């Protein structure tokens, strides 16, 4: 909890209970989460937060760049993940399951581009298709 608080303070945010709680959920999960997921998490852990507070808190965390939002082409859900984590996902078009790719296929491209003197701070790559479960259907 202490670490969460420090992160918030570093970003100039007041370390409120809800902000800490939500930031902690992100730190403990490997999947990107929607506001609804966060809400369910809180409910299950016995520390319910109402959904509008979840949205407000996510906005604050996003504005201070602790988390980022992910929008996928074929989905109207917005998902959030910790910003420092850099993961690409295989996203199933059928069941919407997301599987993290455990390496960055763009590493080499970034190295190639660096002589162009362009400072890359972020890149996006989402891979769409059908997971083994859905393919078997
Ligand atoms: Zn699937
Ligand atoms: Zn990458």
| pLDDT tens digits for range 104-128 | 888 777 777 766 777 777 788 889 9
How far apart CA 58 and CA 39 sit, in angstroms, is 11
Strands 88-92, 126-129: pairing is parallel
Quote the ligand 2 centre to 15 CA distance (angstroms).
Answer: 30
Which domain covers residue 129, as residue numbers?
86-137
Same domain, residue pair 128 and 62: no
Same domain, residue pair 126 and 78: no
Cα 17 vs. chain centroid, distance in angstroms?
Answer: 20
Relative to the alpha carbon of 110, which ligand is closest? Answer: 2
Quote the ligand 1 centre to 127 CA distance (angstroms).
Answer: 13
Identify the pLDDT of residue 35: 95
Same domain, residue pair 29 and 73: yes
Identify the pLDDT of residue 110: 74
Identify the pLDDT of residue 30: 74
Number of domains in the chain: 2
Identify the pLDDT of residue 33: 93
Quote the ligand 1 centre to 89 CA distance (angstroms).
Answer: 13
**CATH number of domain containing 106:** 3.30.1490.190
Cα 33 vs. chain centroid, distance in angstroms?
Answer: 6
Same domain, residue pair 131 and 70: no
Same domain, residue pair 9 and 64: yes
Question: What burial class does residue 26 get, using C-beta atoms within 10 Å of its C-beta: 0-12 exposed, 13-18 middle, 19+ buried?
Answer: buried
Same domain, residue pair 61 and 12: yes
**CATH number of domain containing 39:** 1.10.10.10
Residues of the chain predicted below pLDDT 50: none
Relative to the alpha carbon of 102, which ligand is closest? Answer: 2
């Amino acid at each position: 909890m202490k670490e969460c608080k420090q992160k918030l303070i570093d970003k100039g945010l007041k370390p409120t209970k809800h902000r800490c709680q939500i930031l902690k959920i992100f730190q403990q999960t490997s999947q990107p989460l929607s506001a609804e997921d966060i809400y369910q998490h809180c409910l299950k852990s016995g520390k319910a937060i109402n959904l509008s507070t979840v949205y407000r808190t996510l906005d604050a965390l996003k504005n201070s760049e602790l988390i980022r939002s992910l929008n996928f082409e074929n989905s109207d859900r917005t998902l959030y993940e910790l910003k420092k984590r850099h993961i690409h996902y295989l996203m199933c078009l059928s069941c919407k399951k997301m599987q993290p790719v455990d390496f960055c296929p763009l590493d080499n491209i970034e190295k190639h581009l660096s002589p162009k003197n362009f400072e890359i701070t972020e890149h996006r790559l989402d891979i769409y298709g059908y997971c083994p479960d859905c393919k078997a259907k």
